Amino acid sequence: MRNLTAIICLAVALLIGNAGVAWSADFQKGYAGYQSGDFATALREWTPLAEQRHADAQYNLGLMYANGQGVPKNYKTAVKWYKLAAEQGNAFAQYNLGLMYANGQGVPQDYKTAVKWYKLAAEQGDADAQFGLGLMFALGRGVLKGYVYAHMWGSIAATNGNKLGANLMDDFGKKMTRAEISTAEKLARECALKNYKGC
């Protein structure tokens, strides 16, 4: 009985492994098509993968629909694909979904929901989401307005390569006391030490 169970487990592992290889090959075909501007190939390769819960394919379909690449621009469909990928933890999809909610594209404008998705992506180190979160604090959209947190997230975003993060720090740093700036810098360091979790 143990041998039969081991054989069944091995067979399932091989099938899953082969499916992973096929997924990877199909995804790469779609990516090559996308990079060369052959959006029909990208759509053909990524759609079945996205329907099988492949988060990167879902995210990329979201991009195609948001930008009208090979398909008519459709923000609602973009949101659908972003959300499916975001729920699986894809940081790029989480950021883009936050952006859709912040701008009211394909969904009613909802700053609190935008902040939720920005935060999830920011905690994974996504510099654009970190900047977006800082901007939400700076403007008081979906969160209480707070220059300390705007500065903190701007600093983190800048450290992680977002060029606008430094502008956010500079703009709101002019409106802050030295003590507030010191607090923001301390929070940014502590947040980085925690890998951005729970900041």
Render pLDDT for 129-160 as a digit per residue (tens, 0 to 9): 999 999 999 999 999 999 999 999 999 999 99
Residues 34 and 103 in one domain: yes
Q: pTM higher than 0.75 for the full model? A: yes
Q: 174 lies in which domain range?
A: 114-199
* Residue 5 scores a pLDDT above 80: no
C-alpha R_g of the chain: 21
Note the Cα 159 to chain centre separation in Å: 18
pLDDT at position 155, please?
94
DSSP assigned state of 152: H
Last residue of a domain, which of 85, 109, 133? Answer: 109
Which structure tokens are listed for 135? 């901007």
User: What type of residue is 25?
Assistant: A
The string of pLDDT tens digits covering residues 15-70 is: 334 345 455 778 899 889 899 999 999 999 999 999 999 999 999 999 999 999 99
Instruction: CATH number of the domain at 29, please.
Output: 1.25.40.10
Burial 173-192 (b: 16+ CB within 10 A, else e): beebeeebbebbeebbeebe
DSSP assigned state of 178: H
Last residue of a domain, which of 78, 109, 140? Answer: 109
Residues 58 and 11 in one domain: yes
- Mean confidence (pLDDT) of the chain: 88
Residues 197 and 168 in one domain: yes
DSSP assigned state of 36: T
Query: Cα–Cα distance between 127 and 166 in angstroms, integer?
Result: 12
